[in-house]
Amino acid sequence: MARVPEEVVDQIRDGAPIEDVVGEFVRLKKAGTNYKGLCPFHDEKTPSFNVNPRMGIYKCFGCGAGGNVFQFLMQHEGMTFPEALSRLAKRQGIDLSRYEDASEGSPRKPDARGKMLAANRLAADFYKAALESSPGERGRKYLEERGVTAEAITRFRIGFAPPRWDALIKAAGKRGVSPDDLAEAGLAVRREDGSGHYDRFRDRIMFPIRNHEGEIVGFGGRSLPDSDSRHATAKYVNSPDTALFKKGRTLYGFHEGRESIREKKRALVTEGYFDVISLWEHGFREAVAPLGTALTAEHIRSLRAHAEELVFVFDPDAAGLAASERAGSVAGRMLGLAGAPDLLVASDVLRKDFIDRDGAGAVRLKVVNLPEGRDVDALLVENGAEDFARLLSSAEGILENTVQTAMAGIAPGASQAEKIEAVQRLLPILGTCHRSVQDQYLALLEDQLGIPYPTLTAMVRRLLAENARESSPRREEKKVDLLGENLGRPKVEMDALQLLLMRPELASEAPDGLMTDPAVNEVLSLMKSGDAASLTAASIADRLESPAARALVVELAVVEVEPEDVEAELFDCIERLKERRRRKMEEDLMKRIEQTRKEEGDDSPEIWKLLERKNALLRERQRTASPR
Ligand SMILES: [Zn+2]
């Protein structure tokens, strides 16, 4: 993309409220005029992530991450600046296409992301048309048998991949998309012998997978019961991870269900495409599913931005149980199921004590117990929505549920070793609980299983120590802490700059040479160089060259301060700065006088000149110090 004019960049940035952009990824809670939430860039249990909507700035006081809306998307979504710019432009219906080809002499770099998105869009259209065509008949029949309605087919853009090796490759070729482009997007596979490519998805129902923005980033394909075995190598095939598609970050149904998740403050986490669609068909539009992976911390971060309750709806078999336990321990650990009492809670009984002490990030984890042998899709189709709603309302907290399942699994007369093994399965979840909750359950286990309490607590301690070891490298990964650097800067200059960020047009009132800190001077000269009145902290952050100066602006801007009179306080700072400068000049003069006296003796004419200047400074100080 050619350079987009600064005023257009300003317009795009200022038209995208930072609390909305960040709010898509982080659940923010109002705290004064700022918003607070759990930082999406590092693991924490109490919110140190701040968003200042007036300044258009976010900043985490835990890991130091900070910036404006563009920098948020760049940091969080791994976008380049042009990508962040065009995403926010798109939201506001601003057309950037006219800047696309007017490159300044340099050849336009192909945008890999854009190419992959285009390939995925093309594929989705192709699969959709194939489902509607006559070879798609088998696919339509299968969907009908599974109770998928036309409405759901449209909403989820469900399609069909024909049972051929090159159907998509040929169709794409006609539209100028090469097999290599398809392979890049995970839609085609290069033959190992180098003799070309073949379609990855063949003879399958196709489910496009969207990212937060609704862009198609990958596909899931389900074979048909009568699929040719050459094509139906596995029941489910997903797109591989690409630069665009990360399974560990993407949830099926998230884009389609986000509004409902926000509304109901709840997400149903289930296992597959058909579960999500079936729940959606039956009015539970807040359903999502991970894509052939266990639920990750990233998934939970996306969900907790909108939901206060995660309900696991997994198959009532061993794999489903294991999945819910694993999800529970991942979620528990990262949400601090208990470590911090202001966070998450296992059961309704415990909820009132531990949940929502200050709101941000609190999430309840629950499990729906499906009747044995019935997955959620089958249950909905056979018993209807009301039956499921009843199960949902009786969903138990994950801790209670796990404990009960484990206890129920212990046969009468089980050996001590078998009992210990059962307890071991509870530990990952139990270990994330608040001490007082843990104690209750440990007492219960001692009582019912006859395992001595000290043995149990030792097991928990060992697990916690292991967890701490595992998670410590993460802590070291965190970005440079800029707070330390900024702490060393002169206080009065910080005060002045903070006030100037509120009213950049006052920068002209600050005489040159008053500030000593290079980062402060960089910001100040930027403010003085242009149309200061139109600058904001967020636009300054875009224009600064040095990372240190940007970090300084971000940190000063995010802090919530409401001075009664910005101008008066600024003038006060400027007076203090002037005073500081005079004192410094006096000191320098005194040194020079001393020096000259030593070298040239008391009667040197040079000394008289220096003394004269010192007196002038003294008079000036007395004048300004006298009451106005
Ligand atoms: Zn952070």
425 belongs to a structural domain: yes
569 belongs to a structural domain: no
What pLDDT is attached to residue 340?
29
Q: Return the closest-CA partner of residue 327 out of 276, 365, 287.
A: 365
Distance CA 73, CA 70 (A): 5
CATH number of the structural domain spanning residue 152: 3.90.980.10
Q: How far is the centre of ligand 1, averaged over its atoms, from the C-alpha of 216 (Å)?
A: 29
Using the 3D structure, point to which of 72, 99, 126 is the last residue of a domain: 99
**Residues 560, 32: contact at Cβ < 8 Å?**
yes
- Same domain for 144 and 264, yes or no, is no
- Same domain for 258 and 231, yes or no, is no
- Same domain for 289 and 423, yes or no, is yes
Q: How far is the centre of ligand 1, averaged over its atoms, from the C-alpha of 50 (Å)?
A: 9
- Same domain for 30 and 174, yes or no, is no
Average model confidence (pLDDT) across the chain:
83
Q: What residues does the ion ligand 1 have nearby, CB within 5 Å?
A: 39, 41-42, 60, 62-63
The count of structural domains within the chain is 4
258 belongs to a structural domain: yes
Distance CA 206, CA 161 (A): 7
Residues contacting residue 126 through CB under 8 Å, at least 6 positions apart: 159, 167, 168, 171, 172
- Same domain for 211 and 259, yes or no, is no
Q: What is the three-class DSSP state of 37?
A: strand
Q: How far is the centre of ligand 1, averaged over its atoms, from the C-alpha of 75 (Å)?
A: 11
Q: How far is the centre of ligand 1, averaged over its atoms, from the C-alpha of 27 (Å)?
A: 14
Three-state secondary structure of 346-384: CCHHHHHHHCCCCCCCCCEEEECCCCCCCCHHHHHHHHC
Q: How far is the centre of ligand 1, averaged over its atoms, from the C-alpha of 18 (Å)?
A: 17
- Same domain for 459 and 330, yes or no, is yes
- List the end-to-end C-alpha distance of the chain, in Å, as a whole number: 57
Q: How far is the centre of ligand 1, averaged over its atoms, from the C-alpha of 333 (Å)?
A: 17
75 belongs to a structural domain: yes
Q: How far is the centre of ligand 1, averaged over its atoms, from the C-alpha of 542 (Å)?
A: 21
Q: How far is the centre of ligand 1, averaged over its atoms, from the C-alpha of 42 (Å)?
A: 5
Residues contacting residue 406 through CB under 8 Å, at least 6 positions apart: 422, 423, 425, 426
Q: How far is the centre of ligand 1, averaged over its atoms, from the C-alpha of 102 (Å)?
A: 39
Task: State the CB neighbour count (10 A cutoff) for residue 212.
Answer: 18
Q: How far is the centre of ligand 1, averaged over its atoms, from the C-alpha of 40 (Å)?
A: 6
- Same domain for 399 and 258, yes or no, is yes
**Residues 286, 257: contact at Cβ < 8 Å?**
yes
Q: How far is the centre of ligand 1, averaged over its atoms, from the C-alpha of 246 (Å)?
A: 22
Q: How far is the centre of ligand 1, averaged over its atoms, from the C-alpha of 259 (Å)?
A: 26
Using the 3D structure, point to which of 437, 453, 475 is the last residue of a domain: 475
E runs forming strands in 490-608: none
What pLDDT is attached to residue 605?
82
- Same domain for 192 and 145, yes or no, is yes
Distance CA 308, CA 362 (A): 6
Q: How far is the centre of ligand 1, averaged over its atoms, from the C-alpha of 121 (Å)?
A: 35
CATH number of the structural domain spanning residue 466: 3.40.1360.10
Distance CA 404, CA 224 (A): 38
Report which secondary-structure segment, H or E, holds 161: strand 159-161
What pLDDT is attached to residue 355?
39
CATH number of the structural domain spanning residue 61: 3.90.580.10
What pLDDT is attached to residue 113?
82
Distance CA 409, CA 415 (A): 13
Q: How far is the centre of ligand 1, averaged over its atoms, from the C-alpha of 343 (Å)?
A: 17
Q: Return the closest-CA partner of residue 6 out of 108, 81, 76.
A: 81
564 belongs to a structural domain: no
Distance CA 122, CA 521 (A): 51
Using the 3D structure, point to which of 428, 454, 475 is the last residue of a domain: 475
Q: What is the DSSP letter of 313?
A: -
Q: Return the closest-CA partner of residue 12 out of 93, 76, 75.
A: 93
Q: How far is CA 531 from CA 69, 198, 368, 527, 539, in A?
A: 22, 57, 59, 8, 12
Q: How far is the centre of ligand 1, averaged over its atoms, from the C-alpha of 67 (Å)?
A: 12
Give all strands of the β-sheet with 287-290 in edge-to-edge order. Answer: 251-252, 287-290, 266-269, 309-312, 364-367, 396-397
DSSP H stretches of helix in 431-452:
435-449
544 belongs to a structural domain: no
- Same domain for 211 and 325, yes or no, is no
169 belongs to a structural domain: yes
Q: Which two tokens stand for residue 592?
A: 């020079």
**Residues 558, 486: contact at Cβ < 8 Å?**
no
- Extract the residue ranges of the chain whose pLDDT is less than 70: 1-2, 100-110, 332-362, 432-434, 467-485, 487, 623-628
Per the DSSP assignment, residues forming a β-bridge with 223 are 204
Q: How many CA atoms lie within 13 A of 99 on its CB side?
A: 15
Distance CA 471, CA 193 (A): 43
Burial of 606 (0-12, 13-18, 19+ CB in 10 A): middle
Residues contacting residue 89 through CB under 8 Å, at least 6 positions apart: 12, 95, 96
556 belongs to a structural domain: no
Q: How far is the centre of ligand 1, averaged over its atoms, from the C-alpha of 313 (Å)?
A: 31
- Same domain for 441 and 388, yes or no, is yes
Q: Which two tokens stand for residue 65?
A: 């991450």
- Same domain for 16 and 77, yes or no, is yes
* DSSP code string of 77-112: H---HHHHHHHHHHHTT---GGGTS--SSSPPPP-H
Domain, as residue range, for 205:
112-238
- Same domain for 93 and 140, yes or no, is no
Q: How far is the centre of ligand 1, averaged over its atoms, from the C-alpha of 38 (Å)?
A: 8
Per the DSSP assignment, residues forming a β-bridge with 326 are none
Per-residue pLDDT tens for 261-274? Answer: 999 989 999 988 99
Per-residue b/e over 402-434, b at no fewer than 16 CB within 10 Å?
Answer: bbebbbeeeeeeeeeeebeebbebbbbbbbbbb
Overall residue count recorded for the chain in this entry:
628
Per-residue pLDDT tens for 504-525? Answer: 888 888 888 889 899 999 999 9
Q: Return the closest-CA partner of residue 482 out of 507, 515, 519.
A: 519
Q: How many CA atoms lie within 13 A of 107 on its CB side?
A: 2
